[in-house]
Structures are given as C-alpha cells and as structure tokens.
C-alpha cells in the first residue's frame, strides 16, 4: 500500500493504523504494503466515488502478517474482481515472512476481500475469505481466489491490446489519501493519463481532479481501467511510485501482456 491517495505496492513496512498483536509483545501497528521497502499508496487528491459505482472494486484486509522477529502486523490492499471467484491485485500484497511474493494460501492470520461496496458501512456486497493466491511469473500481479463465487457483480474485463501514451485511465482504490494516512473507508477515484509503456509496466500521471492526483499507501493492486463503449477494461494494476501526492509518473503493471495467463488461471 502506498503513502498517497491510491495505495501502492503491498509488502509490509512502515507502521500504520490497525492494531496487531506481536507475539508475546505489545500490539503492533498496521503497516502499509511495500516493494523493496518502498511504501505504496491510496488516492491522494482524488474524489469519493459515487454511491454504488464500480462494484468490481475490492478492498483486502490482512491481519496477522508475520515478521522475521516473530511479531505480526496488519495491512490492506486494493484490487478488482475479474471472475466470480478471482480478484486481480499486486503481487507484493501476498508475501512470505521475508516479503518475497508467494503463491498458495495466504501466509497471514486472515485475509478477507470486501466486494461490491462503495463505503465500508454499506450492508450490501460481500465479505469473503481469500483461500489461494497465484503469482504472475512476469510482473507485479497476483490473482486471489475467493472462498465463494460472486454472482451478482459483473467482473472487470481485461484489456488485450497495448496501451499508448495519451490514453486516459481511471483509478479506483481503498488506499489512504496522504502518505502517512490510514486506508479510506469510502472508495476513492482519480483520472490519469498514460505517459509511457515498457515491456511490463504502464507509467501514468495524474490528470484530474489535479495533476498531483496519485496513488497512496494501501492502494497497491488498485485497477487502472479505460472506459469504453463496451464497459470498463482493466489496463494496469497499481504497483509503486513516489510518496503521494506527487506529479509525474506512477508505475502500474501491464495487464495485456499477462491477460492469457490470467484467463488460464480463472478458467
């Protein structure tokens, strides 16, 4: 999770918001996920999503994440439903005690996915356990399998063509809105523009409401999608970037290059 409005990469590092029990010690604070020690964010200088919008958006809540010293902490990530039982997110959101991304059942005390809510106080939607994780072999993307299928929400479709500079994208996430803030309880959104593309990543910059609209801690795994005539299509997944808010590029993992792998897993 990151330190700006949309949470970024989700390996755990800095002290955060939720209390955790360290083994045999005092409660440890929740921590945002990071990659290589870089804290990742939620959407800074974004706006609250309208009630009921983007039901495919997912908030992960992780508790009891192990640390090398024997303690534990809590954290959070964002994601998007791409099949009834599968959510796409950042690979670094699911890791071992040494923060290496791993497949298999989450190595945490518990991990739940909240799907189909714009605000955590809503009574609709679903709260389901994550029972399995599959890591992409090529990029910072993972698929989290839910304990039961979600049948009443249309999954986000995958983009199958390479994005190009100038393409407009929208980001929705459950991260903080400042670099040192807690995860939001209401879904946030912001608009971005593709600035460049390489083999594995799409680089984006804030466009609206501000040029420094950016992902923050706990936004790791949040979807960047294009609005099309046939509905939204997932283009990138929040990975990492500078402290939020910031201007200039944010790193997101390309979806089109791993779309074949994603479809094989969810089938």
CATH number at residue 116: 2.40.10.10
Q: Are residues 163 and 61 located together in one domain of the fold? A: no
What stretches of the chain adopt beta strand conformation (E)? 11-12, 19-21, 27-29, 33-35, 38-39, 47-48, 57-66, 72-83, 86-89, 110-115, 126-135, 142-146, 157-158, 168-173, 188-197, 201-208, 223-228, 231-240, 250-254
Q: Are residues 161 and 198 located together in one domain of the fold? A: yes
| The total number of structural domains that make up the chain | 2
- Asked if residue 63 is part of any domain, the answer here is yes
**Per mean pLDDT, which range of 43-52, 64-73, 109-118 is the poorest?**
43-52
Asked whether the predicted pLDDT for residue 26 surpasses 80, the reply is no
- Asked if residue 62 is part of any domain, the answer here is yes
- Asked if residue 106 is part of any domain, the answer here is yes
Answer yes or no: pTM beyond 0.95: no
Which residue, 146, 168, 184, sits at the end of a domain?
A: 146
Closest of 82, 90, 89 to residue 34, by C-alpha: 90
The Cα 105–Cα 117 span in angstroms is 25
Q: Are residues 31 and 60 located together in one domain of the fold? A: yes
Confidence at 31, pLDDT banded by 50, 70, 90: low
Q: Are residues 104 and 170 located together in one domain of the fold? A: no
- Asked if residue 4 is part of any domain, the answer here is no
Which residue, 122, 146, 170, sits at the end of a domain?
A: 146
Asked whether the predicted pLDDT for residue 152 surpasses 70, the reply is yes
Q: Are residues 168 and 140 located together in one domain of the fold? A: no
Q: Are residues 23 and 90 located together in one domain of the fold? A: yes
Asked whether the predicted pLDDT for residue 111 surpasses 80, the reply is yes
- Asked if residue 264 is part of any domain, the answer here is no
Q: Are residues 22 and 128 located together in one domain of the fold? A: yes
- Asked if residue 211 is part of any domain, the answer here is yes
Angle at 93 between CA 91 and CA 99, to 5 degrees: 90
What pLDDT does 127 receive?
A: 98
Which residue, 113, 146, 179, sits at the end of a domain?
A: 146
* Span 147-158, average pLDDT: 98
- Asked if residue 262 is part of any domain, the answer here is no
**Per mean pLDDT, which range of 143-147, 179-183, 220-224, 253-257 is the poorest?**
179-183
Asked whether the predicted pLDDT for residue 16 surpasses 80, the reply is no
Q: Are residues 117 and 232 located together in one domain of the fold? A: no
Q: Are residues 206 and 178 located together in one domain of the fold? A: yes
The Cα 133–Cα 103 span in angstroms is 5
What range defines the domain where residue 179 resides? 157-257
Q: Are residues 218 and 133 located together in one domain of the fold? A: no
Q: For 48-107, how does the pLDDT look when each residue is reduced to its tens digit (9 = 90+)? A: 999 999 999 999 999 999 999 999 999 999 999 999 999 999 999 999 999 999 999 999
Asked whether the predicted pLDDT for residue 242 surpasses 90, the reply is yes
Q: Are residues 26 and 140 located together in one domain of the fold? A: yes
Q: Are residues 142 and 169 located together in one domain of the fold? A: no
Asked whether the predicted pLDDT for residue 1 surpasses 50, the reply is no
Confidence at 180, pLDDT banded by 50, 70, 90: confident
- Asked if residue 265 is part of any domain, the answer here is no
């Amino acid at each position: 999770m990151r330190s700006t409005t949309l949470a970024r990469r989700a390996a755990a590092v800095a002290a955060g918001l939720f209390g955790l029990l360290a083994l045999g010690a005092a409660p440890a604070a929740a921590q945002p996920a990071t990659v290589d020690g870089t804290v990742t964010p939620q959407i800074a200088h974004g706006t609250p999503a309208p009630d009921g919008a983007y039901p495919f958006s997912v908030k992960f809540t992780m508790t009891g994440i192990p640390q090398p010293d024997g303690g534990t902490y809590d954290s959070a990530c964002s994601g998007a439903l791409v099949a009834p039982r599968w959510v796409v997110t950042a690979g670094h959101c699911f890791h071992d005690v040494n923060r290496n991304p791993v497949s298999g059942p989450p190595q945490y005390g518990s991990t739940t996915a909240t799907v189909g809510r714009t605000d955590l106080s809503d009574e609709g939607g679903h709260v389901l356990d994550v029972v399995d994780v599959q890591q992409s072999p090529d990029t910072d993307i993972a698929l989290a399998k839910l304990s039961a299928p979600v049948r009443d929400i249309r999954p986000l479709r995958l983009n199958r063509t390479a994005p190009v500079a100038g393409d407009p994208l929208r980001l929705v996430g459950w991260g903080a809105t400042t670099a040192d803030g807690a995860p939001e309880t209401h879904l946030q959104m912001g608009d971005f523009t593709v600035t460049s593309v390489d083999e594995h990543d799409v680089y984006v910059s804030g466009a609206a409401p501000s040029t420094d609209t950016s992902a923050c801690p706990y936004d790791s795994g949040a979807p960047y999608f294009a609005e099309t005539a046939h509905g939204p299509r997932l283009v990138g997944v929040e990975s990492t970037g500078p402290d939020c808010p910031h201007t200039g590029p944010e790193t997101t993992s390309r979806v089109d290059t791993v779309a074949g792998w994603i479809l094989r897993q969810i089938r």
